Structure 1
Amino acid sequence: MDRPQIPLNALRAFESAARHLHLGRAAVELCVTQAAVSHQIKGLEERLGVSLFRRVPRGLVLTDEGAALVPVLTSAFDKMAETLDRFMDGRFHETLHVGVVGTFAVGWLMPRLAEFEALHPTIDLRIYTNNNRVDLAGEGLDMAIRFGDGNWQATEAVPLFAAPMTPLCSPGIAREITMPSDLAQQVLLRSYRADEWLQWFSAAETEPPPMRAPMCDSSVAIAQMAVNGYGVALLPTRLFEREIAEGSLCRLFDIEVAAGSYWLTRLSSRGESPAMINFRTWLVECSRATSA
Structure 2
Amino acid sequence: MTDDLREITGGKLARLYTFEVAARRASFAEAASELALTPSAVSHRISQLENELGIKLFTRGHRRIELTREGERMYAAMSSSLEFLNREVQSIKNQEYAGRLAVYCRPSFAQSWLTPKIADFLDKYPLIELVIYTGNEAIDLQKMGADLAISFDAAKPERFHQEYLMDESIVPVCSPHYAERYSLYRQPENLANCRLLHDRQAWSTYSGDDEWKLWATHFGLDIGSTLATEFDQAQLAVTAATHHAGVAMGRKKLLSQKLASGELILPFPQHELRCEQHYYISTHADKRWPKIEAFIAWLKETAAAGGDKISAAHRQ
TM-score of the pair, normalised by structure 2: 0.72
Q: Could you list the per-position Cα deviations for residues 31-69 of structure 1 after superposition, in whole angstroms to 9, with x for gaps in the alignment?
A: 45554422211022232522414142xx43323545665
Distance 1:8 1:177, change over 3 A: farther
Partners of 2:278 and 2:104 in 1: CA distance: 16
Match 1:176 to one of 161, 179, 182: 182
State the Cα distance separating 1:13 from its structure 2 match: 1.9
State the Cα distance separating 1:250 from its structure 2 match: 3.7
Q: Which moved more, 1:274-283 or 1:212-221?
A: 212-221
State the Cα distance separating 1:285 from its structure 2 match: 1.4
Match 2:221 to one of 191, 200, 206: 206
Distance 1:94 1:211, change over 3 A: farther
Equivalent in the alignment of 2:101: 96
Equivalent in the alignment of 2:238: 223
The answer to whether the 8 Å contact 1:147/1:261 transfers is yes
The code of the aligned residue for 1:130 comes to: G
Give SS of 1:262's match.
Answer: strand
- Counterparts of residues 80-159 of structure 1 (less than 5 Å): 93-131=98-136, 133-136=138-141, 139-153=144-158, 156-159=161-164
State the Cα distance separating 1:238 from its structure 2 match: 2.6
- Counterparts of residues 33-44 of structure 1 (less than 5 Å): 34-44=39-49
Equivalent in the alignment of 2:55: 49
Distance 1:70 1:185, change over 3 A: farther
The code of the aligned residue for 2:111 comes to: V
Give SS of 1:258's match.
Answer: strand
The code of the aligned residue for 2:294 comes to: N
Equivalent in the alignment of 2:212: 197
Distance 1:186 1:67, change over 3 A: farther
Distance 1:264 1:27, change over 3 A: closer
Residue 237 (1) aligns with residue 241 (2):
no
- Counterparts of residues 56-75 of structure 1 (less than 5 Å): 56=62, 59-65=63-69, 66=71, 73=78
Q: Which moved more, 1:74-83 or 1:42-51?
A: 74-83
Partners of 2:143 and 2:91 in 1: CA distance: 24
What's the Cα RMSD here?
A: 3.7
Partners of 1:23 and 1:227 in 2: CA distance: 62
Partners of 2:40 and 2:240 in 1: CA distance: 66
Give SS of 1:107's match.
Answer: helix
Match 2:266 to one of 243, 246, 251: 251
Distance 1:67 1:155, change over 3 A: closer
Match 1:285 to one of 289, 295, 301: 301
Q: Which moved more, 1:274-283 or 1:196-205?
A: 196-205
Partners of 1:71 and 1:114 in 2: CA distance: 45
* Runs of 5+ consecutive residues of structure 1 not aligned to the other structure: none
The answer to whether the 8 Å contact 1:96/1:126 transfers is yes
The answer to whether the 8 Å contact 2:198/2:248 transfers is yes
Q: Could you list the per-position Cα deviations for residues 2-23 of structure 1 after superposition, in whole angstroms to 9, with x for gaps in the alignment?
A: 4751432112222334456654
* Runs of 5+ consecutive residues of structure 2 not aligned to the other structure: 202-206, 310-316
Equivalent in the alignment of 2:288: 272
- Counterparts of residues 154-169 of structure 1 (less than 5 Å): 156-169=161-174
Sequence identity of aligned pairs in percent? Answer: 29
Equivalent in the alignment of 2:313: none
Give SS of 2:228's match.
Answer: coil
State the Cα distance separating 1:161 from its structure 2 match: 2.6
Distance 1:94 1:87, change over 3 A: same
The answer to whether the 8 Å contact 2:97/2:290 transfers is no
The code of the aligned residue for 1:276 comes to: I
Instruction: Count the aligned residue pairs.
Output: 287
